[in-house]
Chain A
Amino acid sequence: MSPRERTAWIAVVCTIVIWSHYFGTFWLDVAARHLNGGQILTRFIVCMVIMAVVMIGLNLATGVMTRKNMQAPPDEMERQIEGRADRIGFRVLEWLIPVALIAGLLNTGAIAAAFPADPAGSTALIFTNGILMVIVLTELVRELVHIVSFRMAA
């Protein structure tokens, strides 16, 4: 397994575990009609820090264990795979952003009605997290394209 494929596996596993927890908790809060901006921000920062620490730690550990130079520039096949992943990721983003925005705009009335204490703040939180979820999904797709491409060439 090449260092870049290993990095993609680490990113996919970390993304699924950490961001599933974050978004799962967020949407459960939405369903329970209980949104606390401060708590959500704290949870977001904690998830970001854990993601960064775990990814850097695992990449360093596997790099040391396999004695592979992680700083080596990508070769032409890796650049081609990277390019394909970027193209597919961009297409996914191009479709999901409008879908998320339109879904949000069509439901602003329902969101405001569900959170009478702070309709504007709750709407902003839901929109922000919807867009954030789209970005995370796009990154997940990109890394999955890396893995599939590397497996097809193996």
Chain B
Amino acid sequence: MAVPPPITNTIRRLRFDANEMTQQELADRIGMTRQTIAAIEQNKYSPSLEAAFRIAEVFGVELGEVFRWKAGGRPG
């Protein structure tokens, strides 16, 4: 968690578009804590592939619409 992963996400915007879904609601729907959702949203924690797919599933979008790889990102 020391070096931010070279990944961006649109969870904040997706939550806004989903009728201002709260972090707690999203957390409850994918079986995580609100703190973990906040860490993912702020790019302080990279979720597992399974969690990433679950988040995309909640918003009904493709994985690539939630998480994007930053071009030129180096392995942390």
Q: Which residues of A contact B (CB under 8 A)?
A: 1-2, 5, 72, 75-78, 80, 149-150, 152-154
Q: Which residues of A contact B2 (CB under 8 A)?
A: 152
Please name the residue on chain B nearest to A4 by beta carbon. Answer: B33
Q: Which residues of A contact B39 (CB under 8 A)?
A: 77, 153-154
Q: Please tell me the number of chain B residues within 8 Å of chain A, measured between CB atoms.
A: 15
Check A75 against B31 for contact (C-beta < 8 Å): yes
Q: Given A149-B1, A152-B2, do A78 and B44 touch, yes or no (CB 8 Å)?
A: no
Question: Could you count the A-B residue pairs with CB atoms below 8 Å apart for me: how many are there?
Answer: 40
Name A76's contact: one of B1, B32, B35, B38 (CB within 8 Å): B32
Q: Does B64 make an interface contact (CB < 8 A)?
A: no
Interface of A is mostly: helix
Further 9 A-B residue pairs, CB within 8 A, beyond A75-B31, A75-B36, A153-B45: A2-B34, A72-B33, A76-B36, A76-B47, A77-B35, A77-B39, A77-B47, A78-B33, A153-B1
**Bound CA–CA A92/B47 (angstroms):** 28
Q: Which residues of B contact A80 (CB under 8 A)?
A: 45
Check A154 against B36 for contact (C-beta < 8 Å): no
Q: Which residues of B contact A154 (CB under 8 A)?
A: 35, 38-39
Q: Given A153-B39, A153-B44, A154-B38, do A75 and B33 touch, yes or no (CB 8 Å)?
A: yes
A-B contact pairs, 18 of them (CB 8 A): A1-B35, A2-B34, A2-B35, A5-B35, A75-B33, A76-B32, A76-B51, A77-B36, A77-B47, A78-B33, A78-B36, A149-B1, A152-B1, A152-B44, A153-B1, A153-B44, A153-B45, A154-B39
Interface residues of B in 23-74 (CB under 8 A from A): 31-36, 38-39, 44-45, 47-48, 51
**Bound CA–CA A90/B45 (angstroms):** 24
Q: Which residues of B contact A1 (CB under 8 A)?
A: 35
A11: min CB distance to chain B, Å: 18
